[in-house]
Amino acid sequence: MFQNSFENVRKNCPLIHNITNYVTVNDCANILLACGGSPIMSDDKDEVAEITTICSGLNINIGTLNKRTIESMLIAGKKANELGHPVVLDPVGAGASKLRTETAMQLLNEVNFAVIRGNISEIKTMASGSGTTKGVDADVADKVTEDNLDDVVAFAKAFAKKTGAVIAITGAIDIVADSEKAYCIRNGHPMMSSITGTGCQLSAMTAAFVTANPDQPLEAAAAAVCAMGYAGEVAHSRLSDMDGNSTYRNNIIDAIYNMTPEMLEKGAKYEVR
């Protein structure tokens, strides 16, 4: 199943418009190239509608939010909706400040999203309109565990039903859900939390996967999450005793570049609930 999703990305090379943060913009561009997509980075309000028009999908990331780009996000999101292009939202740090929370809610209210991807604290903030987030990381009180997994799955399905979007909650256990079905994914490695940008890269890659698989947004998003987690495993296995988090970051991009659809199908670790 995930094999076909990845094959379609490689075959179609979707052009993805990214309005993303300046901390990880280069990594997002490279992960898109590695998975078989093609990136455009543009956030000026005078050109985002035009750029969105020539692309096939849009990735909006509020990681380094400023008032200049909020208008650009809304313009691009509405244009993508008008054109029928899938839009992915990464509400980085929603709940950490009033501006982030209000912007995330404004985007949710004014743009239709194919996928909303974030950690559990960010998604809970989106669902409630308020919350607490430890910077851009999940609050420890919100950690997804085997004990509360069923409750989080039910929450994700309910939020998916409310928004019409696939909800991707990423962490030690990833949950990707629509209103009826959820994939619980156990790919990944703890070292992924030691580098900046794995979530941002995943959102960019998710945009490529759902754009290349417009009729299966749930499976496409789950495939992207599995691919990123599996890349984290492969990347760690390639580290030497002298390597650290910088090498690990590059190894993840290399792992996506060298990953085949068959490798993803074999390496994906998930169950359906």
Among candidates 253, 254, 222, 229, which has minimal Cα distance to 4?
Answer: 222
Question: Hey, which bits of the chain come out as E strands?
Answer: 15-19, 38-41, 57-61, 87-90, 115-118, 166-169, 174-177, 182-185, 270-272
Contact (CB, 8 A) for 175 and 144: yes
Looking at beta carbons, which pairs linking 174-178 to residues 24 or more positions away fall under 8 Å? 174/225, 174/229, 175/144, 175/149, 176/218, 176/221, 176/222, 176/225, 177/153, 177/218, 178/217, 178/218
pLDDT > 70? residue 157: yes
- Residue 140: per-residue pLDDT: 44
At residue 130, the pLDDT reads 64
| Per-residue model confidence (pLDDT) at position 145 | 85
Per-residue pLDDT tens over the stretch 63-73: 999 999 999 99
Q: Which residues contact 196 (CB under 8 A, 6 or more apart)?
A: 23, 24
**What's the pLDDT tens digit per position in 217-247?**
999 999 999 999 999 999 999 999 999 999 9
Closest among 189, 123, 196 to 160, alpha carbons compared: 123
Res. 194: pLDDT tops 50? yes
Q: Where are the alpha helices (DSSP H) in 13-95?
A: 25-35, 48-54, 67-83
Percent of the chain scored above 70 by pLDDT?
96
Is 147:107 a contact under the CB 8 Å cutoff? no
Q: Are 189 and 267 contacting, i.e. CB atoms less than 8 angstroms apart?
A: no
Topology (CATH level 3) of domain 2-272 = UDP-N-acetylmuramoyl-L-alanine:D-glutamate ligase (3.40.1190)
> What pLDDT does 195 receive?
93
Which of 27, 32, 23 has the alpha carbon at shortest distance from 206?
32
Q: Which pLDDT score is estimated for 11?
A: 97
Residue 90 CA: distances (Å) to CA of 14, 27, 46, 63, 258? 19, 15, 23, 8, 26
Question: What three-state secondary structure class fits 91?
Answer: coil
> Is 55:18 a contact under the CB 8 Å cutoff?
no
Q: With 90 as the cut, is the pLDDT of residue 39 above it? A: yes
Q: Where are the domains of the chain?
A: 2-272
Per residue in 87-140, pLDDT (tens digit) is 999 999 999 999 999 999 999 999 999 999 999 999 999 998 765 554 445 454
pTM for this predicted structure: 0.94
Distances in Å between the Cα of 148 and the Cα atoms of 124, 138, 140, 154, 201 are 14, 15, 14, 10, 27
End-to-end CA distance of the chain: 16
Number of H helices, E strands in the chain: 11, 9
